[in-house]
Amino acid sequence: MTQHSMFSIETVAPKIRKVTFSNPPVNVVGADTVTQLVDVVDELSRDEQVQVVIFDSATPGYFFNHADLGQVPELLALNSADGTPTWVDLVTSLTSAPFVSIASIRGRTRGGGDEITLAFDLRYASREEAFFCQPEVAIGIVPGGGGSDRLSRLLGRDRALEAILTSQDFDADTAERYGWVTRAVADAELDNLVSGVAARIASFDKQSVLAAKAQINRSTLPPVADLRASWAEFAESVNWPGFQARVPQLGKAIAEIGLEEIEQNLGHYAGLINDTGISAVHSR
C-alpha cells in the first residue's frame, strides 16, 4: 500500500487498485488535496499493470466534499508549467487516465468534491448514505471545477439548472434518476457491486477497454476550453460582493450551530444564509 497524507493506495488485485480519501472531519477539498490527488493519478497512470481504480472514503458520512473555503487563494494559485489551472489538469487527467476509475460513494459529495467525482468514469452510490450538491450559487459564486459543464451533459439543461440554481442536496435515488450517478444501490450491496464491476472490467484486454473509453470520451466530455473558462469565471466570482458578504455569515452559522450539523445539511443551510445575517437558519 502506498500512503499519502490524505490518500492511501491499496492493491486489491494485480490489475485493481483502491484509493481511499481521508481528510476528517468532513473531507473538504483543499489545494493540498488537489496536489496529492494529482500525484496519485500520475503514479497510477505510470503503472502499466493498473486497469481499474476504485475511489472511496474512510471518513464516515463524507465522500469528496466541497472546497475548503480557507484555501481558495491557494487553489486559485495552483497552475501547471504551461499556465493551465492544476484543477483542470486533475479532472482532465482523470477522464483520460489509462485506467477505468470507479467511485464507491458513501456520504456527502458536494461542490468541488462533486466535480472531482463527476470526472470519474463510473459512479455507484449508497442509497442510504450518498447525497449530492453544488452549493456555489447559494453562497454567491459559480461552480468552477466542471460541475456546470458535466452536469449539463449528464442531466440535460433543465435538471442541471435545477441542481445548480437551487443548491439543494439531492439523494442517491434522485441522482440516479437524473443521471448524476451510474447507479444507486442499497448500502449493503455497494461494496459487492463495485468489486464485481471492477473485477469484470479488469478481466478484459486493457487495449480494448481503453480504446472504448476513448471513443466514449470523444462523444461526451466537455472541451478543455470550457473547463478553463468555468475555472476563470469561478476565480472572478470569489471577488463578488455576494460571496464576500456570505462567507462571514456561514462562519457565524458554523460557530453557532456546529460544523457537523451544517455539513450534514449544507443544502438546507446554504439556502438560508444571506448577506445580512443568519437568523433564518433557526427556522429549521
| Residues noted as catalytic | 115, 136
The CA–CA distances, whole Å, from 23 to 30, 41, 67, 107 equal: 10, 18, 12, 13
Which grid cell sits at 159? 435538471
Rounded Cα distance, 184 and 127, in Å? 5
Three cell numbers, residue 24:
476528517
Residue 254 burial by Cβ neighbours in a 10 Å radius (0-12, 13-18, 19+): middle
AA identity, residue 127: R
Distance in angstroms (rounded) separating the CA atoms of residues 284 and 144: 29
End-to-end CA distance of the chain: 44
Measured distance CA(145)–CA(27) in Å, rounded = 17
Q: What is 201-256 written as a DSSP string?
A: HHTS-HHHHHHHHHHHHHHHSPPHHHHHHHHHHHHHHTTSHHHHHHHHHHHHHHHH
d(CA 251, CA 83): 33
C-alpha cell belonging to residue 65: 466534499
